[in-house]
Amino acid sequence: MGQQPLPAAEVPVVQLGLSAAPSPPEAPAWRVLASYARPHWRMLLVGAVLSLATAASGLALPLVVRELIAALGTKRGVTGLVAVMTLLVVANAVIGALGGYVLRRTAESVVLAARRGLLVQLLRLRLSAVERHEPGDLMSRVTADTTLLREVILGSLVGGVTGLLTFAATLVLMAVLDLVMLAVTVASVALAVVVVALVVPRINRASKAAQEAVGAIGASLERVFGAFRTVKASGAEEREGERLDAAAEQAYGASVRAATWGAVAGSAAGLAVQVAFIAVLSVGGARVSSGSIGIGTLVAFLLYVFFLIAPVGQLAGAVTQYHVGAAAVARIREVDALPIEAVETLEAVEFGQPPEPAGVGRPLVVGAASVTLEDVHFRYGPGLPAVLEQVSLVIPPRGLTAFVGPSGAGKSTVLSLVERFYECDEGRVLVDGTDVRDWPVRLLRASIGYVEQDAPVLSGTLRDNLLFAAPRATDDDLQRVLGTIRLAGLVAALPDGLETTVGHRGMKLSGGERQRVAIGRALLRRPRLLLLDEATSQLDAVNEAALREIVFDVARTTTVLVVAHRLSTVTAADRIVVMEAGRVRAIGTHVELVDRDPLYRELAATQFLTSPVGEPSSR
């Protein structure tokens, strides 16, 4: 061939520290919320102080009003008192605006930190954990659930504390003015406390249901857009629309219930203040008539009753927001509890860009990798049927090894175990004689090029996708691989060349083009071990033949494992592993297996390959 595959690079194998994050212990929601806010406590304290200063300027106003009324009664000058009132009003507005800005900015910082932590956690999840959850639901936890933290930090943590302090200060000032009217006020406010205590559990349940319903909407949308062409080709728009509408209705109903009980709590607080105002006006009027207090004291006390509206509302809102936040925190904590892959001391590993470890735990490994399976047993979950049973085989460095057999025989699972997407239940999978569980995950995968069955292409440009696994590859490497996978002509014909966008999941490319991009992405990684899972299933005969030659050339210097249903792709393989029902049935060359294995002979006969087929001339 004119184009030569990239040579296998040398990879230093180093022993790096591994640690698996433990499942987070159960903790009350308030403690989790406090942990989110703790790194920002200084700014939250500044915001809280400013909020208290705003409340203090407001609380001082009724006392000035009382003095003003007294001054008017004695015909004293009131210019100074009016100036003080004006200053208090302006200070209240300015300090309140500044405090609001500080608190909102800090709350956004809390949300940012929570999102960053959650994104890191999601990207480190084990494949098995992701497969058990709807992607749309996981995404909603990063978007909708973390957004709720902003309102919780403001309304529950800060609002609750400042509201409680303001409420206490108001009661103290009321006590200074008149204890009888204070008792009337407290009795009225107690009504709101009882109502809020009754509706809080309902708010909690409705808020959690609302958040779960929002997650269901995200999951439904991801399902539709993940197979948009299939939805349209099947005429399923209306049926999927009904599914989405049902999820939206569920979210609406749960949100309305949460809003209804929240409104009940807020209305109870407002009603309590109104009742307090009427009661104080009645009792206070009688006390003014009897001469127990002056009219200025009554007016000041009534102003304090109005001032109670804000802190009482804050406290009711704090309770409501806390339970909304508790539902969001519970969903975020569910992600924290999912199993993650090992955390390594090495921050990043890119093949062809060896790390610089502090110490080398194993000698340098050069060239193609060997793979060994020793009595491997595997099932995808407890209670599920076994996928692999007693699988043992040795694959030496270099050469092409093909896995064939009926669907469900466990062929693709073998590749997943080598990549350590899953770990076997019993037995061992070894690369270069070392159990893959003892390899640092990133370093293991840096040695492997992997092309999965669906050959996914990510949204972005052709260049982005080709360089995805090897972002530091040179332009010469890129051009060489384009020629190898026969995409150079396509790229040259595109108006934007490698900068052409491929659309969501590569929808602008044909199936064969997506497969060639995925193969090019793997080859740019310069792997010592190349795993191809049905990598030619969507190629036409001409491109399949060309790719077959590419794979055989790569196999001269690299260990290549291929899962194939098209036997024409692998008839000249160095060894063919026939699998059936999770076991290795036979191993040999095409000619040997046609001669002595009935299952392989049947597979070959159905594809008209019962006659021996010679190796390509390039071998």
Position 347 scores a pLDDT of: 42
**Comparison of pLDDT for 70 and 420, the residue scoring more:** 420
Ranges of beta strands (E only) in 467-615 are: 529-533, 559-563, 575-580, 583-588
Q: Which one, of 606, 561, 567, 598, lies nearest residue 580 by Cα? A: 598
Position 62 scores a pLDDT of: 79
Rg (CA), the chain: 35
Q: pLDDT tens, 433-487?
A: 889 988 888 888 888 888 887 777 777 888 888 888 888 888 888 888 888 877 8
Contact 577, 587 (CB under 8 A): yes
**What's the rounded Cα separation, in Å, for the pair 191 and 175?**
20
Between CA 418 and CA 429, with CA 423 as vertex, the angle to 5 degrees is: 45
Residue 427 CA to its chain's centroid (Å) = 33
Lowest mean pLDDT among 263-267, 346-350, 599-603: 346-350
Residue 50 CA to its chain's centroid (Å) = 35
**Comparison of pLDDT for 221 and 587, the residue scoring more:** 587
Tell whether the model's pLDDT for residue 565 goes beyond 70: yes
Q: Map tokens 């500080």 to a residue.
A: 102
Q: Cβ–Cβ contacts within 10 Å for residue 23, how many?
A: 12
Contact 75, 117 (CB under 8 A): no
Between CA 288 and CA 296, with CA 292 as vertex, the angle to 5 degrees is: 50
Q: Which residues contact 333 (CB under 8 A, 6 or more apart)?
A: 24, 32
Inter-CA distances, 322 with 149, 187, 200, 328, 332, Å: 9, 25, 10, 10, 15
Q: Which one, of 559, 554, 555, 518, lies nearest residue 536 by Cα? A: 518
Helix or strand run (H / E) with residue 276? helix 237-290
Helix or strand run (H / E) with residue 37? helix 29-37
Position 608 scores a pLDDT of: 59
451: β partners: 532
Query: DSSP code of 38?
Result: G
Tell whether the model's pLDDT for residue 288 goes beyond 50: yes
Position 613 scores a pLDDT of: 42
**Rounded to the nearest 5°, which phi and psi values hold at 93?**
-70, -45
Percent of the chain with pLDDT over 70: 84
Tell whether the model's pLDDT for residue 36 goes beyond 70: yes
Position 157 scores a pLDDT of: 66
For range 102-112, the mean pLDDT: 81
Position 75 scores a pLDDT of: 66
SS3 486: coil
SS3 619: coil
Q: What's 456-526's CATH class?
A: alpha beta
Amino acid (1-letter code) at residue 168: A
Is there a common fold for 18-336 and 456-526?
no
Position 400 scores a pLDDT of: 92
Position 616 scores a pLDDT of: 38
**What's the rounded Cα separation, in Å, for the pair 84 and 36?**
41
Residue 399 CA to its chain's centroid (Å) = 40
**Comparison of pLDDT for 359 and 181, the residue scoring more:** 181
Residue 122 CA to its chain's centroid (Å) = 4
Length of the chain as a residue count: 619
User: Mean pLDDT across the chain, nearest whole number?
Assistant: 77
Give the tokens for residue 351.
């093949």
Q: Map tokens 């309305």 to a residue.
A: 256
| Residue 234 confidence class, pLDDT cut points 50, 70, 90 | low
The dihedral over CA atoms of 381, 243, 142, 259, expressed in degrees to the nearest 10, equals: -120
Between CA 161 and CA 167, with CA 166 as vertex, the angle to 5 degrees is: 100
Give the tokens for residue 238.
């209306």
Tell whether the model's pLDDT for residue 9 goes beyond 70: no
Contact 135, 219 (CB under 8 A): yes
Position 24 scores a pLDDT of: 43
402: β partners: 562, 576
Inter-CA distances, 291 with 278, 286, 344, 347, Å: 20, 9, 79, 79
Query: DSSP code of 333?
Result: H
Amino acid (1-letter code) at residue 399: G
Q: What's 18-336's CATH class?
A: mainly alpha
**What's the rounded Cα separation, in Å, for the pair 477 and 473?**
6
**What's the rounded Cα separation, in Å, for the pair 549 and 540?**
14
| Residue 13 confidence class, pLDDT cut points 50, 70, 90 | very low
Position 382 scores a pLDDT of: 84
**Rounded to the nearest 5°, which phi and psi values hold at 44?**
-65, -40
Q: Which one, of 316, 342, 340, 336, lies nearest residue 146 by Cα? A: 336
Q: How many CA atoms lie within 13 A of 491 on its CB side?
A: 19
Tell whether the model's pLDDT for residue 612 goes beyond 50: no
Contact 417, 423 (CB under 8 A): yes
Position 88 scores a pLDDT of: 83
Contact 446, 352 (CB under 8 A): no
Domain assignments of the chain as residue spans, ordered by start: 18-336, 456-526
Q: pLDDT tens, 297-320?
A: 888 888 888 777 777 777 777 777
Contact 20, 343 (CB under 8 A): yes
Between CA 548 and CA 558, with CA 554 as vertex, the angle to 5 degrees is: 135
For range 73-83, the mean pLDDT: 74
Q: pLDDT tens, 409-432?
A: 889 899 999 999 888 999 999 999
Burial of residue 393 (number of CB atoms within 10 Å: 0-12, 13-18, 19+)? middle
Position 226 scores a pLDDT of: 66
